[in-house]
Structure 1
Amino acid sequence: MRTILTICAAFLILSSQAFAAPKSDLWPIWDKSNESNSASFDHSHWQKILDKYLLEKGQHNLFNYNSVSPTDKALLSQYLTNLTALDPRNYSKAEQFAYWVNLYNALTVQLILDEYPVKSITKLGGFLSFGPWDDDVAKVAGQSLTLNDIEHRILRPIWNDSRIHYAVNCASLGCPNLATTAFSAHNSEALLEAAAKQFTNSNKGASIDGNTLTLSSIYDWYGVDFGSDEQEILKTIDRYRDGSKLEGWKGKIKYDYDWSLNQP
C-alpha cells in the first residue's frame, strides 16, 4: 500500500508541474558549420506528406493522421532515415536551421502515427512521463537525440530567435501551426515571419475578454526568449499583431494551452 501511495504522490507532483519548460542550454558539439558548402538537404518527401495530409481550417492547421497510408508512413520513415544519415555540421547554418526544424516536426508526426489513435501527445512517453520530449527519437552523427535536445540544446541556444517557438510543432491545437511548407535555407525567414504573424493574431496566441488577457502558455514557459518582463513580452507579441496592441495592458493576464491533438 505504501508503494502505491508513493507512486500516486509522484504522479500528482508530476501532474501539478504539468509541463516544465527546459532552459536553453547549448550542446556545443552542434555549434559548427561549413559555410563554404553550397549543398542543400532534400526535404521533398516531407513536403509531399504536408501537401497530402495537412489541412488549413480556421486558425488551425490540422494533420489528418487517420488517413495516412502505409506507403506514406514508409515515405516519412525514409525521409527521416535519409536526413539523420547526414551530419548537419557539414552544411551552412541556414541549411542547418531548416534541417533541425523539419526533423523536429517530422519526428513528432511519426511519434503520433506510431501510437495512433491517441487523444494527445502528452499521453506518449514512458510511465509518469508528460509526453515524449525526453525520449530518444533519432541518432545523428552518432549522437542520440530527443525532441528536447533539438529544440532546447540546439535550435534555441544557437539561433537565439524567439520565432523558433512558432516553427516547431508539438501536434497540439494550442501549438503554433505546423507550416504547410517545409523549411529550407531560402524560405526560413519568410516562414518564421508568417508563423509569428499567424500565431500572435490567433485566439490561441492572444485573446481579450473584458478585463482578462489570455496568452498562450508559450509566453509563460519560454518568456525569457520573448522579453525580460511581462510588458516586454507583450511588446514582442505586438510586433506581429494587426489588431489591438497589448503593451501597457493593465488588466488580468492568464495563460492557457490546448493539448488536444491537432487533427480534423
Structure 2
Amino acid sequence: MKILIPSLLLLFSFNTFAAPKSELWDYWDVSNEKNATTISHQYWQQTLDKYLINKGEFTLFDYANVTDADERTLNSYLRQMSRIDPREYKKAEQYAYWANLYNAITVKIILDNYPIKSITKLGGLFSFGPWDEEVVIVTGKILTLNDIEHRILRPIWNDPRTHYAVNCASLGCPNLQPKAFTARNSDKLLDKAATEFINSNKGVLIQEDKVQLSSIYDWFAVDFGDHQQLFEHLKKYRPELKPFKGDIRYNYDWSLNKQ
C-alpha cells in the first residue's frame, strides 16, 4: 500500500492535468507608451551566461553548481523586479519584464528545491507543479506563475510565440533562451525560439507517415488555431514541412532540464 498510494497520486496528477484558460487580468492591461525608460535585466543575464549550457537540441541549466553568491544575485534581480510597476512602461518593455520574471522565478523555485527529478513534483499533495503557488508581489498584487502566463502574457499580447518564451524547467519545454528578453530583442528572440523548437524532435517529430507534436500544441490549441492554422504556423518556421492529414500524437517530457 505504501507503494500503491503514491503511484495512484502520480497517475491522478498526470491524467487530470489541464492547461489554464487565457483570462485577462484587467489591472495589468495598462501602459505608458511615452515612457522611454528601459528595465535592466543585467542580473538575469549574468545568471544565464554562467549556468545555461547548450547540449544538442536542449539548453540545460546547471542547478547543481550555482554558488551562494550567484543565488543571491538572482534573488536581488527578483527583488528589483518586484519593486517595479510595469504598467508605467511601454508594452514592449512590459513583455520582456514578464517573460524574464517568469523564467527567473522558475529557476529560483528549482534551486530552492534542488535536487528534484521534475518540477511536477512540487506544489501541494494534489498539485501538478508549483504554478498556482504565490511566488511574487508586484504593486501589492500577489502573483502566481499561472497569473503571469495565462492572465497577463497570453491575453494581453495574444501571441502564440509566448509559449516559446516561458520555460517550465522541463526537457519537453521550449528552451530557456540564452539572452534575456528586452524591448528591442523580443520579437527576434521569439522567432528564434519558435524556429528552434519547431525544428527539434521535441517540438515536431516526423517519422515516415506519422507526426508527433509537443503537447503544447494540444494543451493550447486555442492559441494556435485549427489543424490548418496550426500547420501554417509550424510551416512558417519549418518551410519544408508538408501538409499532414493523418492522426497526430502528442508527447511531453517533464524531466528536469538539468545539466
TM over 0.5: yes
For the Cα contact (< 8 Å) 1:176–1:195, is it kept in 2?
A: yes
User: Normalising to structure 1: TM-score of the pair?
Assistant: 0.93
Shift of 1:13: 4.0
Percent of counterpart pairs with the same letter?
58
User: What code does the residue aligned with 1:235 have?
Assistant: E
Instruction: Give, in whole Å, the separation in 1 of the partners of 2:180 and 2:6.
Output: 42
Which of 95, 118, 124 is the matching residue for 2:116? 118
Shift of 1:37: 1.0
User: Normalising to structure 2: TM-score of the pair?
Assistant: 0.95
Instruction: Give, in whole Å, the separation in 1 of the partners of 2:128 and 2:68.
Output: 28
Deviations 1:195-250 (A, max 9, x none): 111111111110111221000000000011111x22221111111014x314x312
1:30/1:249 Cα in 2 relative to 1: closer, same or farther (>3 Å)? same
Q: Which residue of 2 aligns with 1:15?
A: 14
Query: What pairs with 1:41-80 in structure 2 (closer than 5 Å)?
Result: 41-80=39-78
Q: Which residue of 2 aligns with 1:251?
A: 246
Which of 252, 256, 262 is the matching residue for 2:257? 262
Q: Which runs of 5+ in 1 are unaligned?
A: none
- Are residue 236 (structure 1) and residue 230 (structure 2) matched? no
User: Does the residue aligned with 2:237 lie in a helix, a strand or coil?
Assistant: coil
Instruction: Give, in whole Å, the separation in 2 of the partners of 1:8 and 1:172.
Output: 21
Q: Which runs of 5+ in 2 are unaligned?
A: none
For the Cα contact (< 8 Å) 1:88–1:96, is it kept in 2?
A: yes
User: What code does the residue aligned with 1:175 have?
Assistant: C
User: Does the residue aligned with 1:163 lie in a helix, a strand or coil?
Assistant: helix
1:180/1:7 Cα in 2 relative to 1: closer, same or farther (>3 Å)? closer
Q: What root-mean-square deviation, in Å, do the aligned CA atoms of Structure 1 and Structure 2 show?
A: 1.8
User: Does the residue aligned with 1:36 lie in a helix, a strand or coil?
Assistant: coil
Which of 161, 164, 183 is the matching residue for 2:162? 164
Deviations 1:134-170 (A, max 9, x none): 0000000000000000000000000000000000000
For the Cα contact (< 8 Å) 1:171–1:262, is it kept in 2?
A: yes
Q: Which residue of 1 aligns with 2:38?
A: 40
More moved, 152-161 vs 201-210: 201-210
User: Does the residue aligned with 2:245 lie in a helix, a strand or coil?
Assistant: coil
Which of 200, 212, 215 is the matching residue for 1:214? 212
Shift of 1:127: 1.2
Instruction: Give, in whole Å, the separation in 2 of the partners of 1:7 and 1:72.
Output: 35
Instruction: Give, in whole Å, the separation in 1 of the partners of 2:141 and 2:49.
Output: 31
Deviations 1:70-89 (A, max 9, x none): 00000000000011111100
1:198/1:12 Cα in 2 relative to 1: closer, same or farther (>3 Å)? closer
User: Does the residue aligned with 2:160 lie in a helix, a strand or coil?
Assistant: coil
